[in-house]
Amino acid sequence: MATQRILDFLATRRPNGPCLVVDLDVVRDNFRAFEKALPDSKIYYAVKANPAPEILRLLAAMGSSFDTASVAEVEMAMDAGAPADRISFGNTIKKERDIARAYQLGIRLYAVDCVEEVEKIARVAPGSRVFCRVLTDGEGAEWPLSRKFGCVPAMAVDVLRHAKNLGLDAYGVSFHVGSQQTDLSAWDRALGDAKKVFATLAEEGIVLKMVNMGGGFPTRYLKDVPAAQAYGQAIFSALRKHFGNALPETIIEPGRGMVGNAGVIKSEVVLISKKADNDNVRWVFLDIGKFGGLAETMDEAIRYPIVTPRDGSETAPCVLAGPTCDSADVLYEKTPYPLPLSLTIGDEVLIEGTGAYTTTYSAVAFNGFEPLRSYVI
Amino acid sequence: MATQRILDFLATRRPNGPCLVVDLDVVRDNFRAFEKALPDSKIYYAVKANPAPEILRLLAAMGSSFDTASVAEVEMAMDAGAPADRISFGNTIKKERDIARAYQLGIRLYAVDCVEEVEKIARVAPGSRVFCRVLTDGEGAEWPLSRKFGCVPAMAVDVLRHAKNLGLDAYGVSFHVGSQQTDLSAWDRALGDAKKVFATLAEEGIVLKMVNMGGGFPTRYLKDVPAAQAYGQAIFSALRKHFGNALPETIIEPGRGMVGNAGVIKSEVVLISKKADNDNVRWVFLDIGKFGGLAETMDEAIRYPIVTPRDGSETAPCVLAGPTCDSADVLYEKTPYPLPLSLTIGDEVLIEGTGAYTTTYSAVAFNGFEPLRSYVI
């Protein structure tokens, strides 16, 4: 996944210290693949996955819309050239003054999952469109979403009715099947739930128009994942099955699926050692770890492919850890990572599939280490 | 733990958004308490716990030494007025060029836990003092240190012998009993291991001089913890028991114990909601979470005391979560947190005991949220 452009950049520029390099050509290809796979859905790029201005500008120019998590992200999307009507404030947890600020900036589409949030929006963003997030089970996802966002479908009906009563545009339903979702039937179950909310409200004369199918589209780490095309077909079938000919407007919010495979982190082996002479497992310490951008290795959830200059020679399992004085800064320990026995201190390794959820997760200065630098080429 | 000075500051300044306020008077008291409890030990403040320049300047002026994790932290300590001979480069994982830079800055005390690291130091920091970190079991600690740092005592003997052979000063042994350690006997076990390394090397004519007893001194969160005085007594007894009259020089490296209880985070309730009408547990969302500075709630390890303006009224269990669009950004869910039923959106809450390991853990811009601001008063 390290493209020739990325390899050339690293070979020429030789940046010191760990850094992420993102190839915009891959982002462009990913955007086109989503457009092709789901031609009837609007693409709202999840800015939080990687808000690099170059990425936002490219996607804005290609016609993408944007899913934002904060006023700062709204402003980033607008700075990149996106008009307000292509921006959704997709965080269900918002301060009322932030909603007011977004409304001032022209934002008219908001996520909610409870009546309390509806009331804030009614007060400071009158007449706006709201969609209610429905809880899904997240089964099959590598990074499950727990119950933090959304409410049960029965409550979503109350929430949207309340929105309508307060003069808002009860616009639709959203769900998120869980990040890095590889089970195609997850969308079918969630669309079934969405349809129930549509049907119940229709009986009361409230006509919802949109289903926001969220993100969850995986990027390829070590295991193969279904291609965008397979997702598109599964989703279209599920839409047909549940909504028949009365297909709603649909939105997707890819983040990881848009930029994950576009980025590669260059890192350096700082130390290779053992804890006892008779240990089988070597400890390999890199100059980047959990607090330098690889937070998604939490609970060893995401397992990144790692390329070393010694690949092809005999490997043995290693514990892989970061450079900080924090014992939690271990990337892979429960399931050790096979690396070449000939790997040496000072070797540069490439951590692939790191275009999403790395730079912004990086700690400001933990242990004095600077945050992950990023180059978008 | 919110001192009157902190309360007055918040009432007067009314800072917008989440922030940490640290009271230097508490840091001063803590330093004196450590001095009094362990009068024969040198105090090396663990800079990583909170590197605010005001804290470093205060401690440098009081005569503290400093334990650093990177060249950047070495420079911070020097900028605060600490001479190089009061600074230890305590990270066992160092790039050779960083060791060279520290040596240039005058640093002559380095941590190691393997021969590979000894060789780097011998090459670029000739003649320096090195101490070898020994693995302890960390039992009794709330934030255990796993096996990331240190080697077994038998290997420490080899590491220190190797240092001596390469012209370094084989200076001593270090251990870390685990952060927020409340079991006083942990130091006894570790000192027993340290003594064994001393004794074995003495037989070869290598005379170690120092035991670095690390940190682990707890700060008070919800549970009571033994006072510094109790630690001092337990440690002194253990030193006597294992070393008799030939007491080594000793170092301690308090971080959390020095600044934890000196800081309070002010936060705001952004949303209170349920996921279904018949849910027993409310979800309370704050404007700070795991990626905004409360990383140590990982696995619900550290449970901070929370003060609300409604304290005293009836409480009920809540799931407590942060404001980002990340499902992992939940602080307490497995063990819900009791909060007043009358708690309301917009209420300001104080999260106490947050002076250590908060600001620097904060993500640079996750979801567009700015890093945790900090005021040292």
Q: What is the ipTM of this complex?
A: 0.92
- Each domain of chain A, given as residue ranges in start order, spans 90-254, 261-376
Q: Which residues of A touch B276 (CB under 8 A)?
A: 151-152, 154-155
Q: What are the residues facing A45 on neighbouring strands?
A: A66
Task: Please indicate whether, in this complex, the C-beta atoms of A365 and B368 are within 8 angstroms of each other.
Answer: no
Task: Please indicate whether, in this complex, the C-beta atoms of A327 and B149 are within 8 angstroms of each other.
Answer: yes
Instruction: Say which residue the tokens 């550290």 belong to.
Output: B302
Q: Is A277 on the interface with B (CB under 8 A)?
A: yes
Chain B stretch 161-200, residues whose beta carbon is closer than 8 A to a beta carbon of chain A:
none
pLDDT at B231: 81
Say what the alpha-carbon torsion angle B264, B296, B359, B369 is, to the nearest 10 degrees: -100
Residue B153: enclosing H or E segment and its boundaries?
A: helix B153-165
pLDDT at A145: 54
Residue A354 tokens, joined: 């790191």
Locate the chain B residue with the closest alpha carbon to A321: B148
For residue A190, give the amino acid letter: A
Q: What whole-number distance in Å separates Cα of residue A289 and Cα of residue B154?
A: 29
Q: What whole-number distance in Å separates Cα of residue B199 and Cα of residue B196?
A: 5
pLDDT at A365: 87
Residue B19 a catalytic site member: no
H helix intervals, A134-281:
153-165, 185-203, 228-243, 256-259
Q: For chain A, which residues score pLDDT lower than 70?
A: 137-146, 220-225
Q: Which residues of A touch B366 (CB under 8 A)?
A: 48, 360-361
Q: What whole-number distance in Å separates Cα of residue A47 and Cα of residue A38?
A: 20
SS3 B90: coil
CA distances from A221 to A22, A44, A156, A351, B93 (A): 16, 23, 35, 10, 27
As a whole number of Å, the CA-based R_g of chain B is 22
CATH 3.20.20.10 assigned to A90-254: yes
Q: For chain B, which residues score pLDDT lower than 70?
A: 137-146, 220-225
CA distances from B338 to B225, B261, B282, B314 (A): 21, 21, 10, 9
pLDDT at A147: 83
DSSP state letters, A274-341 = -SSTT-SSEEEEES--TTTT-GGGGGG-S---EE-TTBTB-EEEEEEE-SSS-TT-EEEEEEEEEEET
Distance from CA of B340 to the nearest CA of A (A): 18
Q: What whole-number distance in Å separates Cα of residue A173 and Cα of residue A251?
A: 10
Q: Which of B71, B272, B327 sits opposite A148 (nearest CB)?
A: B327
- Of B55, B5, B64, the closest CA to residue B27 belongs to B55
* Residue B354: Cβ within 10 Å count: 33
pLDDT at B240: 95
Task: Please indicate whether, in this complex, the C-beta atoms of B362 and A359 are within 8 angstroms of each other.
Answer: no
Q: CATH: 1.20.120.920, 2.170.190.11, 3.90.1150.10, 2.40.37.10. Which one for A261-376?
A: 2.40.37.10
DSSP conformational letter for A166: T
For residue B351, give the amino acid letter: I
Chain centroid to CA B372: how far? 18
* Residue B3: Cβ within 10 Å count: 16
Residue A73: enclosing H or E segment and its boundaries?
A: helix A71-79
Q: Is A97 on the interface with B (CB under 8 A)?
A: no
